[in-house]
């Protein structure tokens, strides 16, 4: 390690491989791999993310792309702010590889002061300052240096919640098997009970909770190679609503009950081969998931609902600074009128831009998305000498302008006649400006318009797709 630290300044002035007598088909054998900067992260976790290992043979023409892809693989773990891979050709024609890491900060005790709306744009539009949450959140990333994750949340205010979650990605020596578990208890005095005019309507009771539920799940995860993840989950949900909600909407829970419970099982396949997971510009991302809710094991359990969700997104670099992306996402589920609390289509996790203020319920939906982006400000790195912690004193950022076009359709078997968006063609377009920076932060400012002529300026805090 001391010898490596001594060589570190020299490595940044060395061309990895540059020998005119060698052609692009020249084979090099990978020799020693030396890792520096991992004060917390175990070396075996880092080796799991490499796309090469000692003893492999690689063509000269493939080395740059191999190193770039490996840097991206390490960055996509969200364990490091910066990754640099350097190499030196030894006398025996082998390659000595040096991996220089700058770790993130992993322990985050975070005071909670947040809005409780479905998205930031909806909150800014409604400006309902009663919908504020407060409390404390503790997140510990990279626990034990093994990329494990612990989350503890205690939240009061509009949405009260106690949550515990723990993830172990590596249960076995081959680092392919993992486990994740989560428990949450949730309650609030005000809750949505129906959708009218494509917007949520609420019931509030200051003397009693309008909605309470607890849920838990445990998931087994299998990672095949680098990019393919399988997941099998089993969970349980038990909810309670105030009797007044049954009068307002008998279909809120199944069978007009004031309590709802069910087991659910789910399998998903996730293949993510994008360059930057939190803001992809190149590569592809496939996902498919099948869920069975209601197994018929409990008294008064919710009627069985089968659903399948899938998406495929593609990202390409068109030319210098220009990028394009497009894809499709859809959901199929049991084609009958489902309980209101379960029948979410668009407006929550999945939405179309320019419809941020709307909620569209139904059993099936399909959306298409596309964009063209221009890298307005290429990635820059800023050093803050006043900050002594090296996990925070160097940040990177980039700015992208973009235009986008999206379409969608939601099928609702028995729609409320007051809602105009289900069973109709949906489309929107607009322009946006994205700030992308360290710790996976994406800040999006967009102006969009939909086919109804509704338009607005919207703000979001993560990637569009």
SS3 string of the chain?
CHHHHHHHHHHCCCCCCCCCCCCCCCEEEEEEEEEECCCCCCHHHHHHHCCCCCCCEEEHHHHHHHHHHHHHHHHCCCCEEEEEEEEEECCCCEEEEEEEEEECCCEEEEEEEEECCCCHHHHHHHCCCCCEEEEEEEEEEEECCCCEEEEEEEEEECCEEEEEEEEECCCCCCCCEEEEEEEEEEEECEEEEEEECCEEEEEECCCCCCEEEEEEEEEEEEEECCCEEEEEEEEEEEEEECHHHHHHCCCCCHHHCCEEEEEEEEEEEEEEEECCCCCCCCEEEEEEEEEEECCCCCCCCCCCEEEEEEEEEEEEEEECCEEEEEEEEEEEECCCCCCCCCCCCECCCCCCCCCCCCCECCCEEEEEEEEEEEEEEEEEEEECCCCCCCCCCEEEEEEEEEEEEEEEEEECCCCCCCCCCCCCCEEEEEEEEEEEECCCEEEEEEEEEECCCCEEEEEECCCCC
pLDDT of amino acid 276: 95
pLDDT of amino acid 11: 45
Domain ranges of the chain: 2-103, 107-460
- Cα–Cα dist 465/444, whole Å: 12
Cβ neighbours for 32, distance < 8 A, ≥ 6 positions apart = 54, 96, 97
Low-confidence ranges of the chain (pLDDT < 70): 1-24
**CA distances (Å), origin 355, targets 3, 345, 347, 404, 432:** 58, 13, 7, 14, 15
pLDDT of amino acid 5: 44
pLDDT of amino acid 24: 65
Nearest-10 Cα torsion for 344, 348, 352, 355: 100
CATH numeric code, 107-460:
2.40.160.50
Q: Is 354 left (phi over 0), alpha (psi -120 to 50) or beta?
A: left
Q: Which residue in the block uniquely carries the two structure tokens 């880092």?
A: 46
- Cα–Cα dist 68/61, whole Å: 13
Rg (CA), the chain: 25
Instruction: List the beta bridge partners of residue 358.
Output: none
CATH of 2-103, one of 1.10.287.70, 1.20.1250.20, 3.10.20.310, 1.10.1740.10: 3.10.20.310
**CA distances (Å), origin 1, targets 16, 49, 272:** 20, 21, 34
Nearest-10 Cα torsion for 421, 426, 431, 433: 70
pTM for this predicted structure: 0.89
- Cα–Cα dist 453/465, whole Å: 23
pLDDT of amino acid 57: 93
Phi, psi of 24 (to 5 degrees): -65, -20
Nearest-10 Cα torsion for 62, 67, 70, 71: -150
Chain centroid, CA 83 distance in Å? 21
pLDDT of amino acid 19: 35
């Amino acid at each position: 390690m001391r010898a490596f630290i001594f060589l570190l300044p020299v490595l940044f002035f060395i061309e990895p491989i540059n020998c005119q007598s060698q052609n692009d088909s020249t084979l090099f054998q990978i020799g020693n791999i030396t890792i520096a900067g991992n004060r917390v992260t175990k070396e075996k976790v880092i080796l799991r993310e490499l796309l090469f290992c000692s003893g492999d043979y690689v063509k000269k023409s493939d080395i740059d792309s191999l190193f770039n892809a490996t840097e991206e693989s390490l960055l996509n773990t969200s364990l490091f702010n910066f990754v640099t891979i350097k190499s030196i050709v030894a006398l025996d024609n082998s390659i000595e590889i040096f991996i220089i890491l700058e770790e993130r900060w992993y322990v985050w005790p975070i005071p909670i002061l947040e809005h409780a709306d479905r998205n930031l744009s909806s909150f800014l539009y409604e400006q309902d300052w009663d919908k504020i949450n407060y409390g404390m959140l503790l997140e510990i990333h990279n626990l034990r240096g093994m990329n494990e994750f612990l989350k503890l949340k205690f939240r009061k205010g509009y949405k009260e919640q106690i949550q515990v979650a723990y993830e172990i990605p590596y249960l076995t020596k081959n680092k392919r098997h993992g486990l994740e578990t989560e428990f949450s208890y949730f309650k609030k005095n005000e809750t949505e009970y129906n959708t009218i005019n494509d917007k949520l309507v609420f019931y509030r009771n200051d003397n009693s909770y309008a909605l309470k539920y607890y849920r838990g799940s445990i998931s087994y995860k299998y990672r095949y190679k680098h990019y393919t993840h399988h997941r099998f989950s089993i969970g349980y949900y038990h909810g309670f609503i105030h009797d007044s909600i049954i009068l307002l909407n008998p279909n809120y829970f199944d069978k007009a009950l004031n309590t709802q419970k069910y087991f659910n099982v789910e399998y998903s396949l996730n293949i993510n081969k994008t360059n930057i997971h939190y803001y992809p510009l190149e590569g592809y991302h496939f996902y498919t998931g099948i869920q069975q809710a209601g197994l018929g094991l409990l008294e008064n359990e919710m009627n069985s609902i089968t659903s399948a969700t899938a998406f495929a997104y593609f990202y390409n670099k068109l030319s210098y600074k220009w990028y394009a992306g497009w894809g499709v996402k859809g959901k199929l589920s049991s084609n009958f009128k489902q309980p209101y609390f379960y029948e979410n289509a668009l407006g929550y996790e999945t939405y179309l831009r320019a419809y941020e203020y709307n909620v569209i319920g139904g059993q099936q939906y399909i959306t298409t998305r596309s964009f063209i982006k221009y890298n307005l400000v290429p990635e820059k790195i800023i050093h803050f000498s006043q900050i002594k912690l090296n996990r925070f004193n160097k940040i990177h950022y980039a700015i992208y302008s973009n235009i986008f076009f999206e379409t969608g359709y939601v099928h609702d078997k028995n729609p409320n006649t007051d809602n105009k968006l289900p069973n109709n063609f949906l489309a929107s377009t607009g322009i946006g400006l994205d700030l992308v920076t360290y710790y996976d932060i994406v800040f999006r400012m967009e102006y969009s318009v939909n086919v109804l002529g509704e338009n607005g300026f919207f703000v979001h805090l993560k990637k569009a797709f």
